[in-house]
Homo-oligomer: A and B are copies of this chain.
Amino acid sequence: MEFTFTPLGVSAAQPAYGRHLAAHILSVGPESFLLDCGEGTQFQFNTHGIKRNRIGHVFISHLHGDHFFGLIGLLNSLGMNDRKEPLRVYAPPGLEEIIEVQFRITQSGLPFSLHFQALDPLLVEKILETEHVEVHSFPLAHRAPTLGFLFREKQIPLNIIPDAIDRYGLTFEQIRAVKAGEELRLADGRLIPNTELTLPPYRPRSFAYCSDTAYKEDLVPLLKGVDLLYHESTFLEKDAEMAAITLHSTAAQAARIAKLAGAGTLLLGHYSARYPDAGVFLEEAKPIFPNTLLSEEGKVVEIPLTRSGSR
């Protein structure tokens, strides 16, 4: 099953050097999640061939314009294209009013149901569980109330070793029980341990989105062992003072969080317009956390599906 993250906008605050505003797609199997929705997100969907109707859930980290001004246009276009599936939007309080006032004044509406869930910017809480993932929101440290989002894949059912079904003459019910991790009791009373019947389990994958935050070391326990960590790196260390004033992070700070959390991969993004070439962020982060990547618009980052080495 696919578990991919695709940045669509990597610029901070304003578009610059062809870089667009914050928007990212996380796809887990058939489920797609939109993380932030800066102005022009619907254009980026077109540019990068994203199927917008697959998105069922939108997560807005905070109410700075570069993270949500594209939502009203996206909703409008979904409506014009006769979307019927409901859409859920998770955001700090206030976004619903911003969207609703525009529908009211323009005397327009949507042909699908739109649900807003106002998030508590001070809590770590589970905000969504779908067929494939659980999503938690958690507080970040920024000038506006800001939330990060942690996606954890649910356990994928075990795969039965191909010849075990024939060897033991498993019934449909027994197959279901073995896939769920149970042992097998044979007609002659013998007990076959589950590990002899199944392949090593898939390792559930995880992804964390830390958009717009100052260096916040108390995130580390929450991010422990995350496979892919998106962490903003608006500035370089030489502009650490600007980062401190604006409550943003440097590339080095993002790398330190990734290192402390033992993340699998760090993905940098949200580059300030003062840096024409984003390569400088990678240079700064890699000595601290070698497995660092740069967010590039439209470039898919995949977390591969692997099996646990040990049982």
Give A contacts to B, CB under 8 Å.
Answer: 13-16, 20, 39-40, 42-43, 46, 63-66, 69-70, 72-73, 76-77, 80-81, 94-95, 97-98, 101-102, 105-108, 144
Q: How far is the CB of A100 from chain B (nearest CB, A)?
A: 9
- Known contacts: A40-B39, A42-B39, A46-B15. The answer to whether A65 contacts B69 by CB under 8 A is no
Q: How far is the CB of A69 from chain B (nearest CB, A)?
A: 5
Q: How far is the CB of A224 from chain B (nearest CB, A)?
A: 33
Do B39 and A15 have beta carbons less than 8 Å apart? no
The 6 A-B pairs at the shortest CB distance, nearest first, are namely A94-B105, A39-B73, A65-B76, A69-B73, A63-B106, A40-B40
Q: How far is the CB of A109 from chain B (nearest CB, A)?
A: 12
Q: How far is the CB of A42 from chain B (nearest CB, A)?
A: 7
Residue among A13, A77, A106 with max Cβ neighbours from chain B (10 Å): A106
Q: How far is the CB of A39 from chain B (nearest CB, A)?
A: 4
Do A144 and B98 have beta carbons less than 8 Å apart? no
User: Please, which residues of chain B bring their CB within 8 A of the CB of A65?
Assistant: 72-73, 76, 102, 106, 108
Q: How far is the CB of A184 from chain B (nearest CB, A)?
A: 56
Do B106 and A39 have beta carbons less than 8 Å apart? no
Do B77 and A14 have beta carbons less than 8 Å apart? yes
Docked pose: A92 CA to B302 CA in angstroms: 48
Docked pose: A95 CA to B42 CA in angstroms: 22
Do B69 and A72 have beta carbons less than 8 Å apart? yes
Do A14 and B80 have beta carbons less than 8 Å apart? yes
Docked pose: A235 CA to B69 CA in angstroms: 29
Q: How far is the CB of A229 from chain B (nearest CB, A)?
A: 27
